[in-house]
Structure 1
Amino acid sequence: MLVLNLACALDHRFEGWFGSADDFESQLARGLVACPSCGLTSIERRPSAPRLNVAHPRGESAESANALPIEMKQQMQQALREIAREVIARTEDVGERFPDEARRIHYGEAEQRGIRGKATPADAAALADEGIAVMALPVEPTLQ
């Protein structure tokens, strides 16, 4: 497993895991590597310290030694659901109008308030270029 430090054209930094350097290059060339913050596929590698898979003293694999206990995973999922519910409760859903409404709020043409909705990666990048902060929030359909 190859772990790389990556950044998009807007300098959002994130980590990517790939089977090999060739796997990364192939996915990058096909536009499959995207920034989790804004969705841009203009990605570059950043310097990173190498991570090595080494044998563990008790014969455990690196994956099993680093695996989170199921209880911890469930707690993290529950915490993320609670955050999503809170965001939904405190924001107005403007749906497909999100990019336009975000601009109207930013430029003082609409009342200041929290909104949520849908935006393409290109819309999110254009908003960021205008200095309008947006954040992707993956939400389970049952929470909407």
Structure 2
Amino acid sequence: MINYTLKCSNDHRFDSWFKSADAFDKLKGANMVTCTTCGDTQVEKAMMAPRVRPARSAAVKPSEKPVNAEPAAPEPTSLTQPATKAEAALAKLRKQVEENSDYVGKDFATQARAMHEGTAPERAIYGEAKLDEAKALIEDGVPVAPLPFNIGRKTN
């Protein structure tokens, strides 16, 4: 197995494993190697450093730490707190949605359509819809959008 760092014509970089260098060439020739971000088939090998294992006598023992080693990423202080800026942004968005709109559960599609048609008062709502219900709402011009987080069902 060989791991290549690849990049597409849009300069997206990603790693992929191949059985051999020949396997990569064969798959690339058949346009079966695509960018994981944009799906572009114009993929090339990117510059990468080889991974060479040191001799066993020169290997760093677990108790030793190399002098030029980078410091480890800080451990999260709590599993209940966001570990990254992206997680914090999603948590903030979720809090805003939950505080400023009404959860309507599985009745989302019906209520969104009623508000769009003017038979129900407009208000901010969120809830759950099946894929076919969501597609029908979009096709009918009802402004809806998926939320980038799972909704925890609320009970009475």
Alignment CA distance shift 1:83-1:51 (3 Å) = farther
Larger radius of gyration: 2
| 1:8 corresponding residue in structure 2 | none
1:107 corresponds to which of 92, 97, 117: 117
Structure 1: stretches of 5+ with no match in the other structure:
4-16, 25-45, 62-68
Number of residue-to-residue matches in the alignment: 100
**2:62 pairs with 1:52:** no
Identity %: 22
The structural deviation recorded for 1:116 is 0.5
Distance 2:33 2:47 in 1: 24
1:137 corresponds to which of 130, 142, 147: 147
Structure 2: stretches of 5+ with no match in the other structure:
1-5, 9-13, 17-26, 52-72, 77-82
Matches within 5 A, 1:8-19: none
TM-score normalised per structure 1: 0.53
| 2:84 corresponding residue in structure 1 | 74
The structural deviation recorded for 1:135 is 1.0
Query: Could you tell me which amino acid in structure 2 is paired with residue 109 of structure 1?
Result: T
Give me the CA root mean square deviation: 3.8
The structural deviation recorded for 1:77 is 0.9
The structural deviation recorded for 1:53 is 3.6
Task: Answer whether contact 1:85 1:143 (CA < 8 A) is retained.
Answer: no
TM-score normalised per structure 2: 0.50
| 1:43 corresponding residue in structure 2 | none
Query: Could you tell me which amino acid in structure 1 is paired with residue 140 of structure 2?
Result: E
**2:79 pairs with 1:87:** no
Distance 2:33 2:44 in 1: 17
**2:136 pairs with 1:126:** yes
Residues 93-113 of structure 1: CA deviation (Å, up to 9, x unaligned): 110110000011001111111
**Which structure has the highest helix share of the two?**
1
Secondary structure of the residue aligned to 2:94 is: helix
Task: Answer whether contact 2:109 2:129 (CA < 8 A) is retained.
Answer: yes
Q: Which has the higher contact order (CA 8 A, sep 6+)?
A: 1
The structural deviation recorded for 1:118 is 0.5
Distance 1:22 1:51 in 2: 10
